[in-house]
Amino acid sequence: MRILVTGGAGFIGANFVHLLVREQPEVDVVVLDKLTYAGDRASLAPVAERVELVVGDVTDAPLVDSLVARSDAVVHFAAESHNDNSLADPSPFVQTNLVGTFTILEAVRRHGVRLHHVSTDEVYGDLELDDPAKFTPTTPYDPSSPYSATKAGSDLLVRAWVRSFGIEATISNCSNNYGPYQHVEKFIPRQITGLIDGVRPKLYGTGENVRDWIHVEDHNRAVLDILERGRSGQTYLIGADGETSNREVVRTLLEIMGREPDDFEHVPDRPGHDLRYAIDASLLRDELGWRPRFTSFRDGLADTVEWYRANEAWWRPHKAATEARYAELGR
């Protein structure tokens, strides 16, 4: 069996490739990645001899068609995914997230190949902090940024291709991920690597915003379950009941790294900062029997801290430029 993984040198995609190589060694893995700033060849270095890396754009129709034609399944991670970047320039998000997904859909339609499309809970908008509700597969879409709007559009394209053309495809919408190989521009690795450098963590606004955190390995095990046993046309939500405010994330990281829990500074909030995300993953749990392995968020954070401490050579080259961009934004 051969699986094509788009965006397989990015954070979640690279971790998926590692999992696939480790647990299904009989599978041939092909990675298509543009190797933009968020895609890093070094993230695949430990499995480089087991993976075919094709450097290219998911919007390149002839290239995508040639790769899909020799694949048994496609797992589509490739996406522009940072809200701040989408506010600065939405155009790459439209190209990669919408045109790229269209290109993949047309290729799997031509060749009759199974597709799993990886998406985000941000397509649903946000919830009030005191609202007991959680996102479900039937929650109406209400995206609030160019990033989440283009991901919502890509989800709807997949649904339309299933209904209109009968392709075999599933969708997953996952909550916020953390773990190894996440770019230092993201919230948790930015704080960890800053603390390693002796810099006080920076907290957007009041820090009350809540995210439903999940370790990337738990996310990817769910993706593998859906790819193998999910029902075509079904949307599965992936979450680990990890609702935690940004303030508590920072306080926990400070405690893990031996600092006082209030040793952080507030910086201006990001525009349109969603208040709260929360996932109801009961369909995934009940239908496919998936369960998270990292049930303690603190333990997962401690594991992630150790990874960044041990892999400075991976993240250090990106740190200075990332902080320079944040400095320009006053954050």
Active site residues: 121-122, 147
Residue whose C-alpha is closest to residue 121's, from 97, 150, 148: 148
Residue whose C-alpha is closest to residue 98's, from 157, 54, 182, 44: 157
CB atoms within 10 A of CB 107: 23
- What is the dihedral angle through the alpha carbons of 126, 105, 162, 286, rounded to the nearest 10 degrees? -50
Which residues contact residue 3 at a Cβ distance below 8 angstroms, ignoring those fewer than 6 apart? 20, 27, 28, 29, 30, 71, 72, 73, 74, 75
Q: Give the C-alpha separation, 130 to 147, whole Å.
A: 25
- Please report the sign of the dihedral spanned by the C-alpha atoms of residue 143, residue 147, residue 153, residue 159: negative
Residue whose C-alpha is closest to residue 120's, from 144, 103, 104: 144
C-beta separation of 168 from 229 below 8 A:
no
